[in-house]
A and B are shown apart, each in its own frame.
Chain A
Amino acid sequence: NAGVTQTPKFRVLKTGQSMTLLCAQDMNHEYMYWYRQDPGMGLRLIHYSVGEGTTAKGEVPDGYNVSRLKKQNFLLGLESAAPSQTSVYFCASSYGAQGYEQYFGPGTRLTVT
């Protein structure tokens, strides 16, 4: 099993450009999450999904949109990138809601100039 995969691994955008990050999991997990990681700030939840066709806002949702059209995929979109969105983005999935291990993807390093 591949677990949780993310594409791309690296990306450089100019301010105002758009892009989509793809997360895929092959563990049949219901729950999926998008985090951003900035130095000294830990992991902050952007959006999450509790099942196919559902999405919800996390701690820092502004400037991002998500979709979960298929159970195994969770997409994170940036419509108009800003330098403040320079970060490392991690996708994660879990079997259940509370008390279950979250399995992380390898991350996407995004730089917005």
Chain B
Amino acid sequence: GENVEQHPSTLSVQEGDSAVIKCTYSDSASNYFPWYKQELGKRPQLIIDIRSNVGEKKDQRIAVTLNKTAKHFSLHITETQPEDSAVYFCAASSYSNYQLIWGAGTKLIIKP
């Protein structure tokens, strides 16, 4: 079955710098890749997603890139701000197995 690995588990960056979180997946049939943000004590919320027919998607300071050949996708956050501090989860799914398979999460710490 599908397996999603996420790195790093913790990422500390200076406020204003960029942050990159990477995920790899095992099932070549996977075609939907969302990213969720979970603030401390809160519920996960979708921040951006990408489908396999697109290589990159941007939404203001966040972007996601997808490399289908290498089977990995990444979340990029530019000009980080204190409110970006949270745990970020990647996930993957396919038409044949539409359940989301989740990465273990990355705790992003923004240093002032």
Contact = CB atoms under 8 A, between A and B. Distances in A.
Interface of B: 6, 9, 31-32, 34, 42-46, 49, 51, 89, 93-95, 98-100, 102-105
A107 B43 contact: yes
Contacts of A99: 31-32, 49, 51, 93, 98
A91 to B, nearest CB: 10
A104 B43 contact: yes
Contacts of B31: 99
Nearest to A45: B99
A42 B99 contact: no
Contacts of A106: 42-43
Chain A interface helix/strand/loop/mixed:
loop
Chain B interface helix/strand/loop/mixed:
loop
Nearest to B41: A107
B32 A42 contact: no
A61 interface: no
Contacts of A104: 43-45
A44 interface: yes
B35 to A, nearest CB: 11
B104 A42 contact: yes
A28 to B, nearest CB: 19
25 contacts: A41-B104, A42-B89, A42-B105, A43-B44, A43-B89, A43-B100, A43-B102, A45-B99, A48-B99, A58-B99, A90-B44, A97-B98, A98-B32, A98-B93, A98-B95, A98-B98, A99-B51, A101-B49, A102-B46, A102-B100, A104-B43, A104-B44, A104-B45, A106-B42, A106-B43
A22 to B, nearest CB: 16
Given A97-B98, A101-B34, A42 B103 contact: yes
Contact of A42 (B34, B51, B95, B102): B102
Given A58-B99, A101-B34, A40 B43 contact: no
Nearest to B46: A101
